[in-house]
Amino acid sequence: MPFHVYILRCEDGTLYVGSTADLRSRLDAHNDGRGGHYTASRRPVTLLYSEIHATRQDTVVRERQIKG
């Protein structure tokens, strides 16, 4: 199962970085207000970028690099 690291642009212009095993479902959750506290008040969000990784651990490492 592939895992994704993704970057969203929020309605207010800020960026959000996250990771998931199901990108489409996670984007829907963000836009429905169920994706997390930060994005819930900054909807709608738009996918700017995503990467596919083989393991969840790889996505965690990459997410930290991007946020770093």
| Cβ-based burial of 19 (10 A; exposed 0-12, middle 13-18, buried ≥19) | buried
What domains can be seen in the chain, in order of their start residue? Answer: 3-67 (3.40.1440.10)
pLDDT value for 10: 98
Cis peptide before 44 (omega within 30 of 0): yes
DSSP character at residue 65 = H
Are the CB atoms for 8 and 40 separated by under 8 Å? no
- pLDDT tens across 7-28, in order? 999 999 999 999 999 999 999 9
Write out pLDDT tens, residues 44-66: 999 999 999 999 999 999 999 99
* pTM score of the predicted model: 0.94
d(CA 1, CA 13): 31
pLDDT value at residue 1: 84
